[in-house]
Amino acid sequence: MKIKHFILFLFFALLFSHKVAVSQTISPMTITCVKVEANGDVSLNFEPAVVTGNATFNGYEIHYSNNVNGPFTPYLDANSSLLGVTSTSMPIPLALPNANSQPYYFFTVIKYTAVTTTGFTDTSDVVSSIFVQYTSVNDGYSNLSWNPIRTPLLPSSSSYYKVNRGFTEFNFPPSAPNSVSDSSSSISIIDNLTGKCDDNVIYQISIKDNSGCISKSNTITETFTTPGAEPPIISYATYSDDYKKSRVVYSPSVSTFATGYIAYKLSCTGPAIADTIPGYNTTVYNDYDTIIACNDCKDFRVASFFVCQSFTAPNPIPFLKIGQPSIFNNIMKVTETFDKCTYAAKISWCPYKNWSYGLGGYKLWVSKVGELTNNLVATLDSNTTTYTYIVDKDSADYVFQVEAFSVNGNFSSFSFPDTMVADVYRLPKEVFLRYVTVLPNEKVQGCFTNDTLTDIHHYEIFRADTAEGPFEEKVDEVKFDIHKNNLFFVDTTALVNEQNYYYKILAIDSCKNLANTSNTAKTILLKTNPELNFTSEMSWNNYEGWPSGVNYYKIYRSYSTKFEETLIEKQLLDSGLTYIDDISDSLNDDGNYCYRVLAVSVFDTLHYEIDTSHSNFVCIRQTPHIFVPSAFTPPDGYNPIFKPIMAFVPNGSYELRIFDRWGLLMADIKDVDMGWDGKYKGVDAPIGIYSWQIRYKNLKNEFKYTRGTVALVR
């Protein structure tokens, strides 16, 4: 582009007022190349001026500016003199402020003499030094731009710029430049440095001229960090049960120049390299270290790498260029707390973090050690990381494992399996109420099994009127005893002669929870009635509670409350639950007869026992029987003593009184074994009729009287 400096021309016109001959031809000096030197100076190349006619070429002046629109300043030499240059065969160096920091613009003016006139020609085209700059290199690209040497380019210039690139490793400049582009018609270019090793990158722009010179820009140098290969995306990190290992599966890096991967594992001090995995298509890392340090999860991430070649003398050493690592994915760890009293295992786990495909939720799997079945017990949302699982009431080892699944359902991550010992309180599988029996003191005693290997705290004994209950009346409490296989309870409030009872044992564990309940057992209630025919009629209920049932009953009789029993019958169950005792051959004086029934079980093959149960102890009194003779013949006759024949009339309640016909008391006898010998005060009483009176107590313990007469015969 031509710039007309009218002020300069006016100056020249005033200075040289004569006219130039028409036959003279003087063209300006054309600047062909502008080269920026390393120190910021500029060297200019020119085309020689064309002078014809009678004009004489005296030289030229160079004018410059840091703005294309001026103002332009004549270049002064080192002596601050206006430079008058006559040679055009060599580049002319100009010491400018600094062409490495901005572009400078130049034009020339020819100085001539024509006949008697001296003057200047018109100015040459304005040309510029090339100033190159960039905006970024650390993202892997250099964004280069520069100003043109002239717009449009000089007719003698090449149509294309050459972009030269070098690295300090390559010792550039000037010996070994790398050409980024030899044919850039644009004044900007993007240089892809991806895959290059970290270095100082150097750029310079040049353009050739047909005259043979080359315009060169300033040289720019910038330290760049080569981006590594793009990180792979972790598909999932999981525990693999096949080899008891951690397994990280990832997709290949999108950077196809990657040659392998680095696996990192989070340690107590931060990320640490776990392994180097060669091969672009190797997308699985197996970690056999099962130790989880410092945190609840095992965290992994993966970075891509490629191999860089160093050209530093004397020995090239290749090294790895590691890219940005992926985000951490983790393998979950399960922990639990166990409550013996509630049988509740509270399970918790660290959440699966940073899943690129999104976390869909969790599944909880539970199995028992030694069992092949792995049971899915819950499917939970992605925000839930705890679950309460109720174990069986038997001690066992449980294995808990959590499965995280992705939103798309294509991937799963399994936690490390966690084994929990469910050390539950050992509870009895059975509390067997062996028997209930009525004691002679009218209390009920029970015997039940006590598993000494269990964790029972105590037993509570309840009774009810029916087998169905309700068993609400607590009659006793028995502490657990690790030394006794059988324990006993006593019911002191039972009315054993009025009714029978059902009993049940409740085993209470150390958490005060019901651990087990026994079978029920029913006492035997014996009822007995005296009959006038010297018999006792008995009936009782069948004993209930033995798995094998009753084999037979034994019936015992005693004559007093001293409980000196005699077995009077062994009666099979098939014979019924009644018995009539004929006491005619076993009469006693007071008529008191006591009975008790003993139930005997069939041999229990489950518990290897034969148990027994007594009924209540029932005493009855037979109805008194008195037979009085109508005559007696003392002292040596057939019936020498007047003595009533009595049964069941006890001493203490008996009195025999004899009167003569005038009402005189002849005898007063209170011993049932004594009679009247027919004497009064040691003297024989006269023969005749005498009256008698007997007093005794009946079954209701009431005094009864009977009267009559007897004949005394000698």
- The whole-number pLDDT of residue 4 equals 40
> Is it the case that residue 490 has pLDDT exceeding 80?
yes
DSSP state of 11: H
| Residues linked to residue 329 through DSSP beta bridges, in sequence order | 300
pLDDT tens-digit map of 318-354 = 778 888 899 999 999 999 999 988 899 999 999 999 9
Region of residue 678 (phi > 0: left; psi between -120 and 50: alpha; otherwise: beta): left
pTM of the model: 0.57
CATH superfamily ID and name for 6-128: Immunoglobulins (2.60.40.10)
Q: CA dihedral defined by 449, 450, 455, 458, rounded to 10 degrees?
A: 90
Among the listed ranges 81-90, 247-256, 330-339, 415-424, which one has the minimum average pLDDT value?
A: 81-90
For residues 235 and 251, the answer to whether their CB atoms sit within 8 Å is: yes
- The residue assigned the tokens 């599988």 is 429
CATH fold of 526-621: Immunoglobulin-like (2.60.40)
- The whole-number pLDDT of residue 135 equals 82
Burial of 280 (0-12, 13-18, 19+ CB in 10 A): middle
Among the listed ranges 261-265, 461-465, 609-613, 710-714, which one has the minimum average pLDDT value?
A: 710-714
For residues 576 and 541, the answer to whether their CB atoms sit within 8 Å is: no
- The whole-number pLDDT of residue 602 equals 94
Among the listed ranges 1-10, 200-209, 454-463, 646-655, which one has the minimum average pLDDT value?
A: 1-10
CATH superfamily ID and name for 433-522: Immunoglobulins (2.60.40.10)
| Residues linked to residue 505 through DSSP beta bridges, in sequence order | 461
* CATH, domain 625-712, list 1.10.10, 1.20.950, 2.60.40, 3.40.50: 2.60.40
CATH superfamily ID and name for 332-422: Immunoglobulins (2.60.40.10)
Which residue type is seen at 500?
Answer: N
Kindly report the average pLDDT of the chain as a whole number. 85
216 vs 228, more confident:
216
Look at residue 432 and give its three-state secondary structure: coil
| DSSP letters spanning 70-136 | ---EEPB-TTSPBP-B---SS-EEE--S-TTSS--EEEEEEEEEETTEEEE------EE---EEES-
Q: Compute the average pLDDT of residues 35-64.
A: 82
- The whole-number pLDDT of residue 2 equals 39
pLDDT tens-digit map of 613-648 = 999 999 888 777 788 999 999 988 788 999 998 777
pLDDT tens-digit map of 54-87 = 777 777 788 899 999 989 988 876 555 555 554 4
Burial of 500 (0-12, 13-18, 19+ CB in 10 A): buried
* Token output for 627: 């037979």
pLDDT tens-digit map of 675-691 = 999 999 999 999 999 99
DSSP state of 229: P
Residues in the chain, overall count: 714
Q: Compute the average pLDDT of residues 541-562.
A: 89
Any long-range contacts for 178-183 (C-beta under 8 Å, 24+ apart)?
none
* Token output for 595: 């009975």
d(CA 197, CA 223): 11
- The whole-number pLDDT of residue 291 equals 60
For residues 448 and 409, the answer to whether their CB atoms sit within 8 Å is: no
d(CA 654, CA 642): 15
Among the listed ranges 18-22, 184-188, 310-314, 315-319, which one has the minimum average pLDDT value?
A: 18-22
* CATH, domain 234-330, list 1.25.40, 3.40.1350, 2.60.40, 1.10.3210: 2.60.40
- The whole-number pLDDT of residue 295 equals 61
261 vs 306, more confident:
261
- Same CATH topology for 234-330 and 433-522: the answer is yes
b/e map 56-65, b = 16+ CB within 10 Å: ebebbbbbbb
Domain boundaries, the chain: 6-128, 132-224, 234-330, 332-422, 433-522, 526-621, 625-712
Q: Domain 132-224 is of which CATH architecture?
A: Sandwich (2.60)
Among the listed ranges 17-21, 463-467, 669-673, which one has the minimum average pLDDT value?
A: 17-21
Q: Compute the average pLDDT of residues 118-138.
A: 83
b/e map 110-120, b = 16+ CB within 10 Å: bbbebeebebb
- The residue assigned the tokens 């004569």 is 18
pLDDT band at 17 (very low <50, low <70, confident <90, very high): very low
pLDDT tens-digit map of 257-303 = 889 999 999 877 788 899 999 999 999 999 887 665 566 688 999 99
Which residue type is seen at 286?
Answer: N
pLDDT band at 568 (very low <50, low <70, confident <90, very high): confident
d(CA 139, CA 25): 57
Helix, strand, coil percentages, rounded to 5, for the chain:
0, 50, 50
The two beta strands, 260-267 and 655-659, are unpaired
H or E stretch covering 613: strand 612-614
- The residue assigned the tokens 């490390």 is 416
d(CA 629, CA 641): 10
d(CA 186, CA 174): 24
> Is it the case that residue 470 has pLDDT exceeding 50?
yes
| Residues linked to residue 314 through DSSP beta bridges, in sequence order | none
85 vs 111, more confident:
111
CA 93 to chain centre: 80
Look at residue 137 and give its three-state secondary structure: coil
Calculate the alpha carbon distances from 354 to 199, 327, 334 in Å: 34, 7, 18
Which residue type is seen at 577?
Answer: L
Dihedral sign, CA of 660, 666, 669, 675?
negative
Look at residue 9 and give its three-state secondary structure: helix
